[in-house]
Chains A and B, each alone.
Chain A
Amino acid sequence: MIELRGVHKAFGRQVVLDGVDFTVEQGRTVALLGPSGTGKSVLLKHIIGLLRPDAGEVLVDGLSVPMLGRDELASLRQKVGYAFQMGALFDSETVYENIHLGITDETLYRNTEYSEDRVAECLRLVNLEPDVAWKMPGELSGGMRKRVGIARAIAGRPEYLLYDEPTSGLDPVNADAMDALIEQLQRELHVTSVVVSHDVRGAFKVADDIALLHDGKIRLQGPPEAFMGSKDQVVREFLDRDFKLLEAKH
């Protein structure tokens, strides 16, 4: 279970998170929505300890992430897969080595037979051909880079998966394919997930719960039905923008 309680974070004078309360129950998928630049990725980085809150608590499996020592934090990170927005692939390594580095257990990482099988399995899970393993990240399209990033995130068999804007920068067809992939991974891996996105339609497709980050606070968190029925002006404005576009198309 992931819990953020009263988390504050500022960069200089710019307050990004201003008392965020956010919970992800075990086995659930929560989509964290919000306009660009509202601090969704910042929130996500707190969960894995890449950023430390100025105030408040960040708990994963009951452990306070900012209070963990070096080794404990490394152990926690082995349980959490993080798919970065632009893939963040190591560009001097092949796709194989990128995914291989995702095998966080040192003994398994050094087992060549296991590693080769695991990399092939991860590529299959993200619907990529096995020969992609020998390409360099620079040879891949944006969508493929994101998929490889996800493959790397799942290679260590994490219990939690954090997706940072998995559909941003993709065309609608590839964005739909990415949403389908996230759903497929939820079914096959049974992980607890947080999907950061500003794509309302995709979020409704993949998430059990939805949260809206607005002005540094979680404005609303609940199942999609509660979201759709909300009378909150901010929630309505955010939803209407996407759904009006959708209706206009039809």
Chain B
Amino acid sequence: MARISGTSELPVHIRAPRVVGKPAIGVLRHVGRFGMMLAELARALREAKQWVPRALDQCQHVGYGSLFIVLLTASFAGAVTSLQAGYQFTGSVPLYVVGAVVSESIILELGPVLTGLILAGRIGARYAAELGTMRVTEQIDALEALGRNPVAHLLLPRIVAGAVMVPVLTILSVGIGILSGWLAAKAALGITDQDFVHGARYFFRTFDIWYCVIKAECFGLVVTLVPCYVGFTAERGAEGVGRATTYAVVTSSVLILLLDTLLAKVLLPT
């Protein structure tokens, strides 16, 4: 009887479950481990003496440390939105609409999404690399060996810092974004302050701010939970840490974009 030399020669009905099964089991394993990490985080909340001081340190790293790049990006985004709106609307639509386009774009979309994506790179990469290195150099094992809870020591402070500071950074970026858009509109388009404010207020609803904060909170959890999970479960030395870092940034960024669409569909009345 002829031997079957490779998987590709197997019949489709045998090959298909193998091809689908392995990744499916991998995904289920990650879902299970991620769920267990969430349960551990909830349990670690009671160890406030362990995580509160460290969370304050992390708030400084996430907040103060990211302030410059977040505000820089927001100010460029505001100015560019303003200039592009002016280019499209001049001669066809009243210029006060620029105020509405700039403020609503920044509040609803650019502020939270750009801040989230920047932090996915800055904080996500850092957390995944830090925790991954701690895992492969046995520092996490050492914490456990000392009878200390690594979730309360390492993960919870980082996640709390993200949950607290990302909305704060987002609100600041929104403020700076609108301000830079306003200045750009004044300088390049000659729009008056009254027109800009009129446009901005014309379309504004208080819910817009809540929507922005809800998005920022979700993104804050994504840019900390995913890298923490990926770094905490990293394996196989320097290569594993490198892979974990890349995976953390890519996955966080993709999740931010997915959540952005999902939240727009769920929260915004159309």
Contact = CB atoms under 8 A, between A and B. Distances in A.
A80 B147 CA distance: 9
A84 B146 contact: no
- Name the prevailing secondary structure of the B interface residues: helix
B253 to A, nearest CB: 26
Given A75-B147, A77-B146, A45 B141 contact: yes
Contact of A74 (B49, B139, B142, B147): B147
Interface string B133-152: 11001110111111111000
A88 B146 contact: no
A77 B141 contact: no
B166 to A, nearest CB: 22
A23 interface: no
Contacts of B145: 48, 50, 77, 80, 82, 84
Interface range, A side = 20 to 34
B135 to A, nearest CB: 11
Interface stretch (A30-38, A99-107, A233-241): A99-107
B142 A88 contact: yes
A86 interface: yes
Contacts of B143: 90, 101
Contacts of A101: 143, 146, 148
A88 B147 contact: no
A50 B139 contact: no
Contacts of B138: 84-86, 88
B255 to A, nearest CB: 27
Contacts of B141: 45, 50, 84, 88
Contacts of B133: 91
Interface of A: 45, 48, 50, 73-78, 80, 82, 84-86, 88-92, 101-102, 104, 106, 152, 156
Given A82-B142, A101-B143, 5 more contacts: A74-B149, A90-B142, A101-B146, A102-B146, A156-B146
12 contacts: A45-B141, A74-B147, A75-B147, A77-B146, A82-B142, A84-B145, A89-B142, A90-B134, A90-B142, A101-B143, A106-B49, A152-B142
